[in-house]
Amino acid sequence: MLAAVGVLLGAAPAQTACPDVPAPTRARAWRAELLGNTPARTRLTRTATVQIGPRAAGALLVLGPARLLDGRCWVRVRLASRPNDAAAWVETRRVQLRATRWRIEVRRARREVRVRRDGRIVRRFRVVVGAPSTPTPRGLFAIATATRGAPNDFYGAWVVSLTAHSDVLQRYDGGDGRVALHGRGGASLRDPLGSARSHGCVRLDNAAIGWLVRRIGSARLAGTPVEVR
């Protein structure tokens, strides 16, 4: 079982220590599962808050160690909104912190996805990445949501949306330019694996993305770190 830090909503006494939540590495990261609509601070020292909720992402990637301020513990998390480095602070008592041993790496130049568990590469997949005019954005992101699709449709068997957004397209296909890992079917099969022809998304064979969802677990995908190089 993965380590978990339980928390309860409501009034809480002042804390004198925070849970040990190290920065994400290739061997381990932390997911902050949202228990409901949660107030967050864009800056730790500010009282003004924004609201984040599980509809945007069931869990958010924790970006660094927990910090104690005014008797409360906070963690900084990656948001699913623009810009791509958007982050905010949430109280640890308002989320469920769980460790994850999984990490996904997208190598644009190699046109390859590497899946790591405990820091070790367990699978490699050839993929289609963004075209030169609509590149897959670089950075440290996280999985936001996962939606099952139809294998023969353009997006294939699964659409695994990331917190990343296109650096070029503000809107795409009726959405906000969100980047995803997704399968292949229909017209998307015309672009061979190992090519750079997408609008920024990363396309995998249906068997590959199906393996990814099953192996990590659809309920545990959100908050999994995804690094694009």
pLDDT one digit per residue (tens) for the chain, 229 residues: 444 554 444 455 677 789 999 888 989 999 999 999 999 999 998 887 889 999 889 999 999 999 999 899 999 999 999 999 999 999 999 999 999 999 999 999 999 999 999 999 999 999 999 999 999 999 999 999 999 999 999 999 999 999 999 999 988 776 789 999 999 999 999 999 999 999 999 999 999 999 999 999 999 999 999 999 9
Q: Is 149 found in the same domain as 54?
A: no
Task: Tell me the per-residue pLDDT of 41-99, one tens digit each, with 9 for 90 and over.
Answer: 999 988 878 899 998 899 999 999 999 998 999 999 999 999 999 999 999 999 999 99
Cβ-contact 9, 98 below 8 angstroms:
no
Residue 67 to residue 16: CA distance in whole angstroms: 11
Q: Is 111 found in the same domain as 198?
A: yes
Domain boundary among the residues 44, 74, 100 is at: 100
Q: Is 56 found in the same domain as 11?
A: yes
Q: Is 55 found in the same domain as 166?
A: no
Residue 140 to residue 229: CA distance in whole angstroms: 9
Strand partners, 88: 77
Q: Is 113 found in the same domain as 89?
A: no
CATH at residue 28: 2.30.30
Q: Is 136 found in the same domain as 81?
A: no
Give the residue numbers annotated as catalytic, written as ranges. Answer: 182, 201
Q: Is 113 found in the same domain as 81?
A: no
Q: Is 119 found in the same domain as 224?
A: yes
List the domain range (segments joined by +) for residue 157. Answer: 103-228
Tell me how many domains the chain contains: 2
Question: Residue 194's closest CA among 143, 139, 124?
Answer: 124
